[in-house]
Amino acid sequence: MAGEAGIFAGHARTQLAKVIVGQGEVINQLLTVLLCGGHVLLEGVPGTAKTLAVKALARVCRLEFQRVQCTPDLMPADILGANIFNLASSTFSLHRGPVFTDLLLVDEVNRMPPRTQAALLESMEERQVTLDGARYPLSIFFTVFATQNPVEFEGTYPLPEAELDRFLFKIRIDYPEADHEIEVLNRYQGGFDPRDLDKVGLDPVDTELLTAARREAASVRAEPALLRYISTIVRRTRDWPTVSLGGSTRATVNLLLASKTLAAIEGRDYLIPDDVKAAALPVLRHRLVVKPEADLEGITSDRVVTDVLGGVEVPK
């Protein structure tokens, strides 16, 4: 019997399918991030519906949506906002930036200069913004969806490990399958317009259901053996011979939270090893740094996570 998390995820999947063709695993991972209250790094070539997926998710969840297009000259005030002097009242008033929203899409985040990347860190970790010494809280649903292009690096700034570690998931979006791409063409032939989602007829969920689903995911039980299993997986990445930087303690916590959320979506109030295995790849892939010599041999962080999972004994 599905609880609030299962009902929320099932309804959201049905509604998002009206906009996004296929990409079932990507949609499931996006919903997991939203229920965990984390942030996500979306990696994919241009034109694979990354922006459209987040925009549709905001519509389905009745959440506010803002988008920032990153450029090398983007300043912190362009995201956070600034205090503006009002000549009429001779006082300063806060001009809120796009970060004051529920779902924030940061497009091409690796084109953002380091100073602006640093300004985004506080809002991601603390869910607050500090301007001129005053703290301003952000929405309880505040979630950063940052995108980056995996094939174009000219004019970009590599994300530092401290910032990468703030992302709960890194989701890779591939090209759709042939049948799905043909279905996309059929929808456009039938009049689908991604700029006018009102015509799609999305049936939004109540935000109270999202809040209840979050509570349910947080209350999922995890036996001590599974807690040791999660800890062993992350600790093993730190000693792996082809890795120079393994998962942090934050990675261990995030793996637990994501696993519990997956269990709740499946309608269970308890954790099983398969939940941990399903969450391990998106939680760990961006946190591991593969040694240069291993990278030359074609070893990726995804392969390391897969090998680690195969080498850790599963609790009975």
**pLDDT digit string (tens) for 19-33?**
889 888 999 999 999
Please report the pLDDT score of residue 154 as a whole number. 65
Six token digits for residue 118: 């640093």
Top-confidence range, 102-111, 148-157, 195-204: 102-111
Q: What is the pLDDT of residue 195?
A: 85
Which segment of 83-97, 104-118, 139-153 scores lowest on mean pLDDT? Answer: 83-97
Angle, vertex CA 44, rays to CA 116 and CA 11, nearest 5: 100
The mean pLDDT of 61-84, rounded to a whole number, is 89
Residue with more model confidence, 82 or 271: 271
Q: What is the pLDDT of residues 125-166, one digit of tens each?
A: 888 888 888 888 999 999 999 998 877 666 677 787 888 889
Least confident of 33-37, 72-76, 98-102: 72-76
Do residues 145 and 40 lie in contact, with contact meaning Cβ atoms separated by under 8 Å?
A: yes
- The pLDDT value recorded for residue 2 is 63
pLDDT (0 to 100) of residue 273: 94
Domain 4-212 class? alpha beta
Instruction: Give the model confidence (pLDDT) of 254-271 as tens digits.
Output: 999 999 999 999 999 899
The model's confidence at residue 192, banded by pLDDT at 50, 70 and 90, is: confident
Q: How far is CA 186 from the centre of its chain?
A: 29
* The pLDDT of residue 152: 67
Question: For 9-13, 122-126, 219-223, 253-257, which range has the lowest pLDDT when averaged over its residues?
Answer: 122-126
Q: What are the structural domain ranges in the chain?
A: 4-212, 219-311
Q: Is-same-fold flag (4-212; 219-311)?
A: no
CATH code of 219-311, in short, is 1.10.8.80
DSSP secondary structure letters along 82-151: EEEEETTTTEEEEEE-TTSSSEEEEETGGGS-HHHHHHHHHHHHHSEEEETTEEEEPPTT-EEEEEE-SS
Q: Is the pLDDT score of 89 beyond 80?
A: no
Q: pLDDT exceeding 70 applies to what percent of the chain?
A: 98
The per-residue pLDDT for 85 is 78
pLDDT of residue 1: 46
3-class secondary structure, 244 = strand
Average pLDDT value for residue range 234-250: 92
CA 171, CA 146: separation in Å to the nearest integer? Answer: 10
Return d(Cα 169, Cα 281) in angstroms, integer.
9
In contact, 13 and 190? CB cutoff 8 Å: no
Residue 155's pLDDT is what?
Answer: 60
Structure tokens at 298: 């074609």
